[in-house]
């Protein structure tokens, strides 16, 4: 009788242990976290190609922001004497006044320039970032608030480009498409801010010209603005590519379902 009792207790203990193990196993399996979807090799290659396009826009932005060829201001070439004339060109940070020889200028050109001609150059940095003083260019005074606003927009656009590049780098290193949407926002908004920076800077140039009318000046936007305009378009285009790559489906298949099914 006692032997049968102990055998029954052992069997009950085994059954209880097995039941607890089964419950624990189920809870362990149910507690597993779902892994984020991984990128395919083809999608990763497309992201790298789009990132290369965006980096071209970043490079053009840095090149344009660091130069002083945003705008050229030219006096009439015979305003001083028949031998030399003066012109100025500047960007966000620096102003250069150049003295050119009239004999080197195209005879059909009425104003002094262009800035690529050989001559003496005197360059200074703007002081309204440090002491708050306005610059005087050919008796005309700069509008520092507009100028600083354009510079801040350009710097903030550069910050968004860096953040977008970090997002794409993390997405490629982790092989997950989660960071594509933040990168899309960063690159598109950076391109928009680049265009806004150009517009605000041009308004500051117009305010400079309107400050004094004693000396007639001819002005034209230079090649740095062309670099920035191209950069803004490239950044917006790259951001739209990242947006398409972040979608869970191919938009072309949604737009042309019959063509995709016939090809299959």
Angle between helices 223-246 and 180-210 (to 10 degrees): 160
How far is it, in rounded angstroms, from Cα 183 to Cα 8?
Answer: 66
- Is residue 119 one of the residues assigned to a domain? yes
| Domains of the chain: total | 1
Q: What is the spatial distance between Cα 151 and Cα 128, in angstroms, rounded to a whole number?
A: 12
Q: Indicate whether 35 belongs to any domain.
A: no
pLDDT for residue 183 is more than 50: yes
14-43 per-position pLDDT tens digit: 544 444 444 444 444 444 555 556 667 787
E strand or H helix that includes residue 136? strand 136-137
Question: Does residue 14 belong to any structural domain of this protein?
Answer: no
Is pLDDT above 80 for 263? no
d(CA 201, CA 224): 12
pTM to 2 decimal places: 0.78
- The residue segments making up the domain with residue 239 are 41-255
R_g of the chain, CA atoms, integer Å: 32
Average pLDDT score over residue span 131-135? 85
Assign residue 27 a region (left: φ > 0; alpha: ψ between -120 and 50; beta: otherwise): alpha
Task: Indicate whether 10 belongs to any domain.
Answer: no
Q: Region 200-222: what's the mean pLDDT?
A: 89
> Three-state SS for 111?
strand
> CA 213, CA 71: separation in Å to the nearest integer?
18
Work out the mean pLDDT of the chain and round it to a whole number. Answer: 81
Q: Is residue 16 part of a domain?
A: no
CATH number of residue 86's parent domain: 1.20.140.150
Is 215 within a domain? Answer: yes
Q: Is 25 part of a structural domain of the chain?
A: no
* Domain-embedded: residue 125: yes
Query: Is residue 61 scored above 90 in pLDDT?
Result: yes
């Amino acid at each position: 009788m006692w032997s049968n009792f102990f055998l029954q207790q052992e069997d009950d203990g085994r059954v209880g242990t097995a039941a607890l193990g089964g419950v624990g196993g189920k809870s362990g399996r149910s507690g597993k976290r779902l892994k984020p979807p991984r990128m395919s090799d083809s999608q990763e290659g497309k992201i790298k190609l789009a990132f290369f396009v965006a980096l071209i826009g970043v490079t053009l932005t840095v090149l344009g922001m660091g130069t002083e060829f945003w705008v050229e201001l030219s006096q009439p070439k015979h305003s001083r004497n028949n031998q030399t004339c003066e012109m100025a060109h500047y960007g966000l940070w620096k102003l250069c006044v150049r003295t050119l020889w009239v004999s080197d200028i195209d005879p059909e050109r009425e104003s002094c320039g262009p800035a690529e001609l050989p001559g003496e150059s005197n360059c200074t940095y703007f002081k309204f970032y440090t002491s708050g003083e306005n610059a005087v260019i050919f008796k005309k005074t700069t509008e520092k608030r507009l100028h600083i606003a354009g510079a801040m927009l350009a710097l903030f656009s550069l910050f968004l480009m860096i953040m977008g590049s970090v997002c794409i780098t993390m997405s490629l290193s982790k092989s997950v498409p989660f960071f594509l949407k933040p990168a899309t926002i960063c690159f598109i908004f950076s391109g928009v801010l680049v265009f806004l920076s150009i517009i605000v800077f041009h308004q500051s140039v117009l305010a400079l010209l309107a400050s004094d009318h004693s000396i007639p000046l001819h002005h034209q936007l230079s090649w740095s603005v062309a670099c920035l305009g191209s950069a803004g378009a490239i950044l917006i285009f790259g951001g739209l590519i990242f947006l398409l790559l972040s979608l869970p489906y191919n938009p072309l298949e949604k737009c042309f379902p019959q063509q995709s099914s016939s090809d299959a």
